[in-house]
Amino acid sequence: MMSELELLSQVRCFEGEQRQYRHVSKRLGCSMQLSVYLPPQAQTQKVPALYWLSGLTCNDQNFSTKAGAQRVAAELGVALVMPDTSPRGEGVPDDPEGHWDFGLGAGFYLNATQAPWSEHYQMYDYVVEELPALLQAHLPLSELQSISGHSMGGHGALVIALRNPGRYRSVSAFAPIVHPSACPWGQKAFSRYLGEDPERWKAWDSVELLRQGAELLPALIDQGLADNFLEQELRTPDWQAACQARGLEVPVRYREGYDHSYYFIASFIEEHLRFHAQHLLQ
């Protein structure tokens, strides 16, 4: 099996290159695809990277084709790294009932502890440890990195940043699932991946991590007020309350009329990229 990066495609984009790779992940026990945008500055020097974590049902290409982020990334000299949302392939278990909010495309960026999920669903270790080491060894990426995401990926970005404050310079999210222990999507996933004890869920919940005193990096959250998932699944006010209880600045911007779609992301991705560049390029 291949242990390094296999280039599947590359196209010119804003004088940089949009690429897609495949490799075998030892941590996930399967072949994985990912997308990377290298800005033009990467032709002559190592550049910092923004890791983007996508949401439920997505793969590595949703953000690269829908968000329109490459133009600003090229201007700023920041690479974009877009992993898949779960392990995939023969032998990787899926929701036995075929639901879209669990299993394939819904890894929730945690390390599963319960069979049969624990064999492959180790997305936290993959994103935090395995993938950066692989990419920094084979691509012109520096050790400077920030992290962002949408919905389930916003959950992943916040949790990863809170658990690893020295590893990332900044974190942002669009419509993140901030309190998965208290919403149907999260409760379904956590009970299967982690077991039925809610105490075990707290280590993978950004609101609970804040309540436990986790360090908050420079952060930015955008949330649409026309998002159908806001009240039941996303629970943004819970994040605000957790910040306020600790006297922290609440980095949430509510956007009137915006929903949960990539139109929302495309509308404000430039602001997020410039926010991260302030911390990656200082």
CB 155 within 8 A of CB 206: yes
Bridge partners for 22 per DSSP: 6, 33
Residue 279 falls in the annotated catalytic set? no
Q: Which of 84, 222, 227, 238 is catalytic?
A: 227
Q: Which of 23, 179, 260, 272 is catalytic?
A: 260
Q: Which of 151, 170, 172, 181 is catalytic?
A: 151
Residue 151 falls in the annotated catalytic set? yes
User: Half-sphere exposure of residue 191, counting CA atoms within 13 Å on the CB side?
Assistant: 8
SS3 string, the chain, reads: CCCCCEEEEEEEECCEEEEEEEEEECCCCEEEEEEEEECHHHHCCCEEEEEEECCCCCCCCHHHHHCCCHHHHHHHCCEEEEECCCCCCCCCCCCCCCCCCCECCECCCCECCCCCHHHCCEHHHHHHHHHHHHHHHHCCEEEEEEEEEECHHHHHHHHHHHHCCCCCCCEEEECCCCCHHHCHHHHHHHHHHCCCCHHHHHHHCHHHHHHCCCCCCCEEEEEECCCCCHHHHHCHHHHHHHHHHCCCCCCEEEECCCCCCHHHHHHHHHHHHHHHHHHHCC
CB 175 within 8 A of CB 222: yes
Residue 84 falls in the annotated catalytic set? no
Just list the catalytic residues: 151, 227, 260
